[in-house]
Structure 1
Amino acid sequence: MVNVRFFPSTGLFEAFLLPFFRERRSAGRGGAIWSPLPLADAEFEHSWGRHHPDWALRWSQMIGDFNVAVAHFGGTNRQPRFEVTSDPSGEAESLTPHYDQIDQTSLTAQWTHDAWLVKLDAVRRASQVESFVALVGGIEFAFATYLSVFAEYLYDGRGSGATTSMEHDVFAGTRLLTQDWTISSRVFVDRRNSNLVLSTTASRRIGDTAAAELDGRWFRGDSSEEPSRANRLDSYLALKLTYFF
């Protein structure tokens, strides 16, 4: 990747050139979240495949209490579109990832005032297959330096055709910071069918050379209506230990 930056008084301007591309990896059946069908070889819209040169431009600026950034990306979509391949009898056999060429424009805005934080992330993506708008908007309030609560709304214009389960959801959570612990809990509620995703992460340093992190996620509800139904079915609990040399 090549990144060039300019620092005029009107904000930060950045240009990116990405000459190579790496496909998204699947966790497989042994992973925490996996697809129920095997993945076939990826297909690319452009004949250059993984070597298509992609580019992006970004402008960011702080204006009073606001942080604003506008960006545009042109090239290979980093998020594949999956198509089901069937055998002669019509049974689903595999999923084929398709990497389309896209033009994507995004806006990020954040307003910070005293203990309040209001933020918005919006994107418009256009390709030969589809065009849609997606956004995440939310607020955060800090009761003190160690405790904060937040809520967000997530929208994806593709609806049931979205590649994420969070296409029409409400999100709420809390974060607790102490000298030794960082604990956060979150809940996602699907407004269409009231499905729930509950998650909790707790991490702690152990002396000066080690750290422990516990991460849990639980899915509750009917996954048959979810575009990413395998993800909704898979709850997990993971413990991570890190030692610093």
Structure 2
Amino acid sequence: MELVSSPMCRAALASLLLLVIAPALQASDWDGGLQLESRSFVQHARWPGQTDDHNDLSLAMQLDYLGRWPSQAWSLQATIFGRIDEQDSSRSHADVRELNLRYSGEYLTVNAGIRQLFWGSVEAVHLVDVVNQSDWLESPDGQQKLGQPAISVSHSFEQGTLELFALPYFREREYPDSQGRLRPFIPVDAAQARYESDEGNRHVDYAARASININDLDFALSYFRGTKREPRFDFEYSGVGIQFSGCSLLEPSCSILPSYRPIDPRLVPIYDQMEQYGVELLYTAEQWIFKAEAVHQHSTPQSFWATAAGLEYNLGAVSSSAWDWTLLLEYYRDSRGTLSPGSPQGMAISTLASNGTFRLEQLPELRNLQILSYSPFQDDVFFGGRLALNDTASTEALAGVFIDTQTGAKMSTVKGGRRLGERWRLTLEATAYFDVPVLDPLYNFKQDSYVRLQLTRYF
């Protein structure tokens, strides 16, 4: 029997547990919000099976709870999230983001339950943030995370903290279904996921992180050993169909040779074991903030290193007003690079993503195709800016563009929001993709540029 039967069941059980425990606690704070979301896609769907409806409505709710026992040393924190989507059945999901029991002593803190942790210093791409699984259904950029079962012990000393983790259960990455937008060019069959470890998703992972502050410098060292959060994929299909071009033999480019198309193609995730060493740096000097992250990750099929470095410059008040404008510049480098167009794997992926048909001599490449994990930020620059109006409505915005210095691919993003009265907030997010070549990982979303509008009512 699984530790949890389904995300919806987990969320329901966690809510019931809170209702039972809350009356016994000395101080209890409930919070949360109900959100109506509209996603509008600019272009027609790119991949077979995807819905071509440009507008997608969904309803989401989040419930937050914080309670303390009379001793004040013990506390319980919970966050439960759920969404119902009108088009993508996979995006109708629920998750226990946090359900954590915490003991806080003078020098020692113990946590047990489900947690959300954030490691990192760079604004846009978080290389070292490895504990929680990315929630792709909410955000394919990895900014949203699933709750992670964890037990941890942390010790605070004069200039920092050392924390040790045991992670007894692995959360698989969830993907949109075959009809959903913002999915890989071949649907992912997550139900058939495989693991390098014989223990599967019950493999116990371990992690450690030491964070130190010395005057204006913050830095951290981290280590992780366990199941890799990002899978590689086996390409599988039920059979091969034969088709002819249907052209006239009088045409110069016409061929009487048949072509072959895979039937029911799918990607099966494979989760390998890995080790990762990470470092984070953040240095503040008046209006300047310098930050960097670096990781070295080792696994059986693929080992690599990656770095990210950037700076922020606060221009201060704009035009003698209360507005604050911050300029952002970051650079990312990943040793995995890009797939070679002339390699067998690169040629097979290019063919699948373009027309999906193969010649007879290409079929062995199709049968042996594996898709390793590749970062879209293998040699990229991010330019952007953050604006805060510092008004009573907490109006703020972030805008920027990623530019791949090798392939020329570009991804622009805009995020902003403001309060409407005391209990309402309006949020806008827009993402667009430009000039993306076929072997760039962002090619999956080439025609999925979208605008997302969210209206949240807090209670």
Q: Structures share a fold, TM > 0.5?
A: yes
Q: How many Å separate the matches in 2 of 1:23 and 1:80? A: 9
Cα distance in 1 between the residues matched to 2:451 and 2:398: 15
Separation in 2, partners of 1:28, 1:172 = 33
Distance 1:116 1:52 in 2: 43
Runs of 4+ in structure 1 over 6 Å off: none
**Aligned residue among 152, 156, 159 for 2:330:** 152
Alignment partner, residue 81 of structure 1: 232
Find out whether 1:195 has 2:419 as its counterpart.
Answer: no
Aligned-partner Cα distance in 1 for 2:179–2:153: 40
Distance of 2:179 and 2:187 partners within structure 1: 13
Give the CA deviation at 1:228: 3.9
Asked whether the equivalents of residues 28 and 35 of structure 1 are also in contact (C-alpha less than 8 Å), the reply is: no
**Which residue is 2:312 aligned to?**
140
> Which has the higher Rg, Structure 1 or Structure 2?
2
Amino acid at match of 2:164: A
Q: Which amino acid aligns with 1:13?
A: L
What TM-score do you get using the length of structure 1 for normalisation?
0.94
Deviation by residue 1:184-242 (Cα, 9 ceiling, x = unmatched): 11100011121211111120101000101010011110331313421233200110110
Q: For residue 379 of structure 2, what is the aligned residue in structure 1? A: 168
> Using the alignment, how far apart are the partners of 2:170 and 2:161 within structure 1?
26
**Alpha-carbon offset, residue 124 of structure 1:** 0.4
Structure 1 residues 66 and 190: CA distance shift in structure 2, 3 A: same
Question: Aligned partners of 2:208 and 2:151: how far apart in 1?
Answer: 12
- Higher helix residue share: 2
**1:223 and 1:184 mapped to 2: Cα distance?**
26
Specify the alignment match of 1:7 in structure 2: 156
Change (3 A) 1:53 1:109: same
Provide the aligned C-alpha RMSD in A: 1.6
**Alignment coverage as a number of residue pairs:** 245
Q: Compared with structure 1, are the counterparts of its residues 91 and 47 closer, same or farther at alpha carbon in structure 2 (3 Å cutoff)?
A: farther
Aligned to 1:71: 222
Letter in 2 for 1:174: G
Contact preservation (8 Å) 1:164, 1:228: no
- Aligned-pair identity in percent equals 30
Q: Which runs of 5+ in 2 are unaligned?
A: 1-149, 241-259, 318-323, 340-372
Deviations along 1:81-114, one digit per CA (max 9) or x if unpaired, are 1232245437451111111100001000011110
| Residues in 2 aligned to 1:17 and 1:39: alpha-carbon distance in whole angstroms | 29
Q: Scaled by the length of structure 2, what TM-score is found?
A: 0.51
> Larger relative CO (CA 8 A, sep 6+): 1 or 2?
2
Equivalent-residue separation in structure 2 for 1:135 and 1:185 (angstroms): 22
Flag structure 1 segments of 5+ consecutive residues without an equivalent: none
Q: Does 1:106 align with 2:278?
A: yes
Q: 1:56–1:71: 8 Å Cα contact kept in structure 2?
A: yes
More strand, by proportion: 1
1:118 and 2:290 aligned: yes
Aligned equivalent of 1:215: 429
